[in-house]
Structure 1
């Protein structure tokens, strides 16, 4: 079963809205063993939608569209599908009744324009929308079938899961598919792919690399009658090739891993942040129950606050400035002492886009102070000299990942030197 995605809307085409529906659909279809061969965005023009749907069905077995099923005059997907099928739009009495009942139940009077959502191409199948007003549509065209879904994300997802995915499975005779996503930190994507070449060569196994700043997720897909066995073999191969760089799987991010490790040790962590401005604290408080292991944090952005709030020596700041490995170490020790946590985690550096005090953009130091002593590392500098403002959020995100990975390795007693070398970072100080 080959599927193409067709998302409709000027707001998507012009970049006013992020195309999250296409990303979600791609992941969901892949999880169900459906091959997505292309994803196209078009504007709110009837003829353009008709042409795009026809071209897609020359290559694929089915097309899934999102958007253009609402009540306004620029919602043109139903009109385009009627034109493509060579049939008129007709008013569906049951849909009109449902729309009126939903409006009455909310104490509202139905606007005449809303009745556009009761118009459907003649002969189209209706896909029940239990989450909203406009139904999805199933339209058979020469070459294949088009499933038209609303653009509202939770409505689209509901119809997709409840109706479309079961229908696609029935049409395709879906093979057994087993899938798992492993998560890594501090390794370059090219390095991972090189090491995993033997796993890539396994019959029936496919790897996908999903990079984020300082992280790469590895999605393993196995297809066939022995898919689960293949998946287990491939996963073992990934672990053997990457070792401790694999920190979790599925939705378990570094924050959850760190919380679990701290809880196992009945320990807490306090965070001192400079360039990240509270992002590490936000990451560590995202999950419910985080107060059991997260003591708190200090955002000491101004240099003077590093001394006043965290106890960083004035002489050290005067000699080296705020961006220095010894400053990061003093911040970690200071926040640990002042907040009474078992571990102190600190970061300081230059997020850009301009250099600071003679330090280039991307110079970042992270430090952990704990029962076993003190460790400070240099984050690998990004290979983007002279990058503009867009690099600032990337450096800040990378800093969050590197800091949490440093804490994870410290908690597990792993060799931070090896991780630093592989990630092109350098250990600065231990104690």
Structure 2
């Protein structure tokens, strides 16, 4: 191939991917790794186990791309047809590799399992192709050239695919492509700001970049966050991307909470530990989800004291000390209740800070409060602050977004930032 702008297409095989039983994580993993290596993914296809459909998809991918990476359909069952489909597209026959057959027999014998007839199909190779050994499973991979396009077939099991791709497929692909230099890239992570708002903030930057043509801007929205990916498109990539990132920071301000792969919960945990302070949590609508999220971070035990799931109203008053008259007058979903919960758990668990969540996750309104109304508070040495938001979505989404907003309020308090974003749109 030799062209640094190598076009790579991905094909994921399996009925389970089409019907939603399994999420196609292989495509996202491959897309990220290929892009980081300086290669260009131009298409991603998902196809079921039907032989004719698989042949059609592979034929189109081979015609359009310089390289095709297939994942799935290499196993020992009747619906594993990737090898046969590759042979049809290449116009060749399958032959059984005696070395792989013996390896399979030895492998199965070592596990006290019987190698059934279909299991031996894993030793079948299209004429002109070669085997890619699988150190993590029984299904070898296959690679073959078809009309100038190189095709790699890997197992669908994510751990097996990742190992085979990293150890064998990517090195071979880079060798064929002339080992293009990885494109410079930076990812800015924002929180509490929708994708459209972030794009409006960055309009001046995008106009400048469109004129220069040196950096691409892409947006990825995930629950409660928007990520901005800046990628070089030509020579001098590092300098161009760094300049674009500096301008993006200026435009986005304190909406940016981290860069790269660091998650919001890790940022908050790091800030707590670095400052030598502790945190206690009181949760109503989130039901322990905030605490569960915090404890995913290694080392957070140095800062996180614990949590109280005060789901029932009488627990809010009896355990956390929320004024019963306030609860009777306003109900459990109220900013003053959130403030009292944060102050109560801070004292109860002897935390430097207390954080609290209360609201209506649905599916029905509560005490006249609509689904999605959420109140979050943080109590600390500087006083107590609360924010009130209306969060969209179903019950699970509202709870997940409430955790994000609680972590964001904590970040702002710990950094001495305004309690809510204050950026204005660029003129």
Q: How does 1:107-126 map to 2 (within 5 A)?
A: 107-126=112-131
SS at match of 1:177: coil
Could you tell me which residue of structure 2 aligns to residue 191 of structure 1? 197
Once the 2 structures are TM-superposed, how far is the Cα of residue 422 of structure 1 from its aligned partner?
7.1
TM-score calculated relative to the size of structure 1: 0.92
How many residue pairs are counted as aligned between the two chains?
415
Once the 2 structures are TM-superposed, how far is the Cα of residue 319 of structure 1 from its aligned partner?
0.7
In 1, Cα distance between the equivalents of 2:265 and 2:134?
36
Q: How does 1:307-346 map to 2 (within 5 A)?
A: 307-346=317-356
Give per-residue Cα distances to partners, 1:360-402, cap 9 Å, x unaligned: 11100000000000001012443xxxxxxx6221111111111
Could you tell me which residue of structure 2 aligns to residue 411 of structure 1? 414
Could you tell me which residue of structure 2 aligns to residue 393 of structure 1? 396
Query: Is 1:222 the counterpart of 2:235 in the alignment?
Result: no
SS at match of 1:416: coil
Contact 2:254-2:421 within 8 A present in 1 as well: no
1:95 to 69, 93, 100: 100
In 1, Cα distance between the equivalents of 2:141 and 2:338?
55
Q: Which runs of 5+ in 1 are unaligned?
A: 383-389, 424-431
Could you tell me which residue of structure 1 aligns to residue 405 of structure 2? 402
SS at match of 1:351: coil
**Residues 49 and 212 of structure 1: CA distance in aligned 2, closer, same or farther (over 3 Å):** same
Could you tell me which residue of structure 1 aligns to residue 259 of structure 2? 249
Once the 2 structures are TM-superposed, how far is the Cα of residue 144 of structure 1 from its aligned partner?
1.5
1:15 to 4, 16, 20: 20
Contact 2:279-2:354 within 8 A present in 1 as well: yes
2:78 to 70, 73, 76: 73
1:178 to 179, 184, 195: 184
In 2, Cα distance between the equivalents of 1:341 and 1:319?
29
Give per-residue Cα distances to partners, 1:26-66, cap 9 Å, x unaligned: 22222222222221111111111111111122222221111
Q: How does 1:27-176 map to 2 (within 5 A)?
A: 27-142=32-147, 144-173=149-178, 174-176=180-182
What CA RMSD, in Å, does the superposition of the two structures yield over aligned residues?
1.7
Q: Which runs of 5+ in 2 are unaligned?
A: 1-5
1:264 to 259, 271, 274: 274
Could you tell me which residue of structure 1 aligns to residue 288 of structure 2? 278
In 1, Cα distance between the equivalents of 2:245 and 2:339?
37
In 2, Cα distance between the equivalents of 1:176 and 1:224?
11
Once the 2 structures are TM-superposed, how far is the Cα of residue 77 of structure 1 from its aligned partner?
0.4
Contact 1:124-1:140 within 8 A present in 2 as well: yes
Once the 2 structures are TM-superposed, how far is the Cα of residue 417 of structure 1 from its aligned partner?
4.1
